[in-house]
A and B are shown apart, each in its own frame.
Chain A
Amino acid sequence: AQSVTQLDSQVPVFEEAPVELRCNYSSSVSVYLFWYVQYPNQGLQLLLKYLSGSTLVKGINGFEAEFNKSQTSFHLRKPSVHISDTAEYFCAVTFLGAGGTSYGKLTFGQGTILTVHP
């Protein structure tokens, strides 16, 4: 079965510390991978995406993620977080059909609430 799992529902961290938010997926087909951020009372904003090419993807606000095909993971990292990074983060996957086709359907993980403390 195709699924997306975010292993941590909540991650507390102190300001300027590094953080890693974990995402694993289960699939027998190729995938496109995304991380979205949702600030309170706002819509989801795309942080970064992996479609092909280099497995290390850099996104906005200093975030990066690495696609590991053998471990079916796409963990999100930031070397030094700020108070303003406090938000909920969603990993999302598009599972591609035969021939790499899809119509943009996203499957989301459960979300990880990142709380940055001063």
Chain B
Amino acid sequence: GAVVSQHPSWVICKSGTSVKIECRSLDFQATTMFWYRQFPKQSLMLMATSNEGSKATYEQGVEKDKFLINHASLTLSTLTVTSAHPEDSSFYICSARPRGVVGPPSYEQYFGPGTRLTVT
């Protein structure tokens, strides 16, 4: 149980185009999903927190108009990289927090396998 999928697993796009990445919780409902970015040989950096039915909360330094996040249902969040540039090339990872898990001490997050984005 507690499986999170991401689609696509890898994508190559041309500079200036937009790319949408899906994150789905397959066997549970997720009120909160997190989007991370990982550069080669670097740590995962939280980009934004996505709550179902409300606007995403972006971390400092993350352009919300460039990285559009939509969490329209309890099992799906999408990240759209708009007007992609080569510097947006990275590994994007999502995680989902099951519905009903609130506040300390539980922080159950289940991670997707990631999406490799290459912008040429």
Contacts and interface: CB of A to CB of B under 8 A. Distances in A.
Interface of A: 4, 9, 32, 34, 36, 41-46, 49, 51-52, 90, 94, 96, 100-111
Given A108-B43, A109-B43, A51 B109 contact: no
Contacts of A108: 36, 43-45
Contact of A90 (B34, B44, B114): B44
10 contacts: A43-B4, A45-B111, A51-B105, A102-B103, A102-B104, A105-B46, A105-B49, A106-B34, A108-B36, A108-B44
Q: Helix, strand, loop or mixed for chain A's interface? A: loop
Given A100-B104, A104-B97, A108-B43, A42 B113 contact: yes
A41 B113 contact: yes
Interface of B: 4, 32, 34, 36, 41-46, 49, 93, 95, 97, 103-105, 107-114
Contacts of A111: 43
Contacts of A104: 32, 34, 97, 107, 109
Contacts of A4: 43
Given A105-B49, A108-B44, A110-B42, A43 B103 contact: no
A9 B93 contact: no
A34 B110 CA distance: 13
A106 B46 contact: yes
A79 B52 CA distance: 43
A109 B108 CA distance: 18
Given A44-B93, A96-B104, A101-B103, A106 B114 contact: no
Given A43-B4, A108-B44, A110-B43, A101 B111 contact: no
